[in-house]
Structure 1
């Protein structure tokens, strides 16, 4: 599938036309389309998994890091979960045609604020082919057409998934152009997509810092910035040791390649002197490389000297930076300096300190005594997510269906004119 410049304009035009149909489509019809998409994916399961195996083998031969290979892999368990996710989205309440607010002003005008689709959404993402199905189903449920541009490393998988989705759409009488994929890896096409204001209403980049910043800096289409997670866990001096160890090991090792995995552990000096060696050993036993400051290196002889850059880095791997601080104030200063606004956690038994932390930290998700791995739309009860927004306008944190809508005002009068 080769997309030329003219092809991309055609993709945009067809997406815009499809969005007008979806905007007026009733909830039952959208849900029917989602179920048809899920069925079609199941019917093409063998082909999709074969294509994914092809992508994974190619990426491995190209030297892709283990953590990124893990993100690229679509095994049977993930495939089943991906399809189940579409069916779950079909069961969610309709986010459209909801009257958010309504009032009558002093002139007798009835003013209503009603939710409507964004229109055409462009998703630019890397590696994880399940995003192809997740994004398509969430956008469709919210009445949006979507243009997908995945990474070249997942191209065969993404093509197979989108073809199955389009077959499902056509089986219920909808245009296949409701979901489209840019299958040409040419970066110029990505730049063009980012500037197709006449067709695209919103861009959502999902991936590493380089990809996201490229979109933010070059797009003229409005962008919802997502994903970069330089995530911190702060261990307060009153923290329960067993709880701290369990949370830290989980947040780093349960799935290190995702944006809500912890990247930096900030530890009060009093706790570090008593317990950091045991937590460090637990991480070491889990094959985690530890990068530490001077005090960390004294307590953990096998750790490597951390640089300034390490405290800024989203590793997405079995690597973690450690910083020992004297007190709460230093911890807050460090987190505020290096945070990307994604997720931060504190482990403490001091209620007052926990409340201060939730007030002092300005990130999308702030935890007390829990793993940061829970920053996820499905966990939050949204039924899925299109990404995790680290900005403050329109949407913040895990973005479910509501984040894929906007609103318009409906004003009903009885002949009023303005003097």
Structure 2
């Protein structure tokens, strides 16, 4: 009996993904554990393993297809002894078949305009000859790409003959339409009813500037959605402190000298991860998460660390960072960052965390306010360490100083508690022996 191969859920929150690449083809035999495909989630590209044995009889979803819902049948497997030629493809799920995927690549989807309640005007002599296009009710049947091109060229679809199935207007019909197919000029009444300025979506605007359109990756879509939700739904409060780094830099140099035989080199970021974790342990009121009508209070500090990767950002997690030696944190972060950039992190390595740290000091950024990574309740934004005039023991001196800004979810964390966390963080960084204890 044929076996349906379905789009897997590669993380607890995954609802859809991109079938990035097939590593098998029709006729190939597979065994349990064989890598069949690469699937792109919103955070990483992961390998998909076979769980059954058999022969690939059909591939229903082509590689490169985006938005494939979890549970969609993406291929059909013939069991041992079955003739591949006698096996019909198993249907199911929301993904389009391979042939439809090809059509999507040819014609980009665009929202269809609202149907006009008034009848379409009769064709004028200049318009393309032929019967009126097929309509569904009052809506003209046309492909999304044809509609978009017609809008850009100012053409009236009602005056264009469709050559597609059932008279459907396709791209070629619009591109070959004569100028007479242009939409009629609006009446005085229509002009009065029209808004003063019509806002078109970016892809429909005639910029007059050379440009290219790049489709958003699943990761970029997720970043856009989550950060928009964060700024719209989470009341942010920002608290900034200036922190003297001289003692921490001195300790870092001494520790690196001692760790050199082990091949370990601490970064300032490694030490700040430890400092944030220790601060959260000392101020547990900030190691929390807002959960509607309740509050989650965490017993350990798992720090999500922002890592820039091609086309996006990911936050691998250093778990229980407060209890780990800085050398261990350094080793873990190097491994996590490398695999993050290769798209090889497992979901549990970047999903979760009780707070985040984002360091832009290496880019020379003096100070910034980071957006909270929901459902977390705080993120620490680290600026560059730089030589500044600084008062030490009532005397003006030159010191290495950085600015750190905490963003707090005011639903979960009061300003006074946030201020206490920033105070403890500053004290730990300025007297860093507490990070070693």
Return the TM-score normalized by structure 1: 0.24
- Identify the structure with bigger relative contact order (alpha carbons < 8 Å, sequence gap 6+): 1
Bigger CA radius of gyration: 2
Q: Comparing both structures, which one devotes a greater share of its residues to strand?
A: 2
Return the TM-score normalized by structure 2: 0.24
Q: Comparing both structures, which one devotes a greater share of its residues to helix?
A: 1
